[in-house]
Amino acid sequence: MTVLVTGATGHTGRHVVNGLRAAGVDVRVLVRDPAKAPEGVDVVQGDIADLGRAAEGVDAVYLLWPHFQADGVEKAVAPLDGKRVVYLSAMSAEAGGVWGDVEAAVRSVTDDWTFLRVTGLATNALAWAQQAETGVVRAPYGQAKRSLVHERDVADMAVKALTEDGHAKQVYLVTGPEALSQAEQARLIGDALGKPVRWEEQPLDEAKTQLSQYMGAEFAASALAHWASLVAEPEPVSLDVATVTGHPARPFEEWAREHFS
C-alpha cells in the first residue's frame, strides 16, 4: 500500500507520515520544498495543483486543502478518482463554506472518503506564543469555550482511516476531551512556561483588522462570529477520537506542556 500525504511538513501531516511509516506503509509526500520533506519517503515537489502527478499509482491520500477559498478544488481533486481519501475538514463544513465545498468535490470523485471534521487544532494557540512570553495574551472572546484537539490525535485518526477498512463515507467529529475557555487555555500555557499568563480582551475592530491581513475580511468576520457564539454555547465534545483510535483524546494541558515547556 502507498499513501500520498499532502501538507506533510505541517502540524498534522508530519505526524500522519510518522504513523504510516510505523505501520509499515509506503509514503509519498507532496511538498513545495523538498529540503523540508520527511526522511524515508518518496518526494514529489509541487503544490495542491499537482495532485495528479503526485497521486499517480497511490492507493490512498491524506488531503489538506491549504486555502481559505475553494477556487479550483474540483480540478485539483479530479485525479483522486476512485481512491481512498481522508480529508482534514472542519465542524463548520455542515454549513458549507470552503470546507463544505472541498467535501463536495471529494464526494464527486470517490465513494471511499472519510472526513475528519475538527472543532479546532490546539496548534492555533501557537499564535499566542510571543504574547504569552510577556505574560499577557491579548485577543477577543476570552470566555469562548473551545474543544481544541491535539494534532497527534488527528493524525492517529487519519492513519486508522487510511489503513483500515470500515471508515468509508464516515464523518467524524474530532475534538479534545473538554471545552476550555480561551482565557483558561492561556493560563495553562502559562503553567507550561512556568509563569502567570493572563487574558486581556482585544477590541473587535482591532482584532478583525489583524485577522483580515492573513485570512481575508470575510473569513475573519466569520471566525469572530463563531468565537462570539462559543461564549454561550461551547464547542461540542466528541468521543470519536477514542472510538476510532482506541485511546482517549489528549487534553490541552498535555499539548501546552509539549509545546511550551
pLDDT at 224 over 90: yes
pLDDT at 87: 98
The residues near 243 (Cβ < 8 Å, ≥ 6 apart) are none
Distance between CA atoms of residues 33 and 39, nearest Å: 13
Q: For residues 120 and 135, what is the distance between their CA atoms, to the nearest angstrom?
A: 24
Residues 213-222 pLDDT 10s: 988 898 899 8
Mean pLDDT of 170-175: 98
Closest Cα partner for 6 from 39, 40, 55? 55
Q: What is this structure's pTM?
A: 0.94
Q: Quick count: other Cβ atoms within 10 Å of Cβ 239?
A: 12
Cα dihedral sign, 110-107-169-85: positive
In the chain the first and final C-alpha atoms are separated, in Å, by 38
Quote the CA–CA distance of 260 and 45 in Å, as a whole number: 32
Of 9-18, 123-132, 174-183, 207-216, the range with the lowest mean pLDDT is 207-216
**Mean pLDDT value across the chain:** 96
Say if residues 119 and 147 touch (Cβ distance below 8 Å). yes
Collapsed DSSP state (helix, strand, coil) of residue 75: helix
- φ, ψ for residue 68, nearest 5 deg: -85, -5
Domains of the chain: 2-118 (3.40.50.720), 120-148+175-235+250-261 (3.40.50.720)
Task: Note whether 188 and 196 are within 8 A (CB).
Answer: no
- Counted residue by residue, the chain has a size of 261
Stretch 4-15: mean pLDDT: 97
Q: How far is CA 217 from the centre of its chain?
A: 21
77: which 3 cell numbers? 481533486
In the structure, what pLDDT confidence band is assigned to residue 260 with cuts at 50, 70 and 90?
A: very high
DSSP 217-247: HHHHHHHHHHHHHHHHSPPP--SHHHHHHSS
Using one digit for the tens of pLDDT, what is the confidence trace for 130-151?
999 999 999 999 999 999 999 9
State pLDDT tens for residues 65-99: 999 899 999 999 999 999 999 999 999 999 999 99
Any residues with CB less than 8 A from the CB of 190 and at least 6 apart, and which?
A: 132, 135, 196, 197, 198
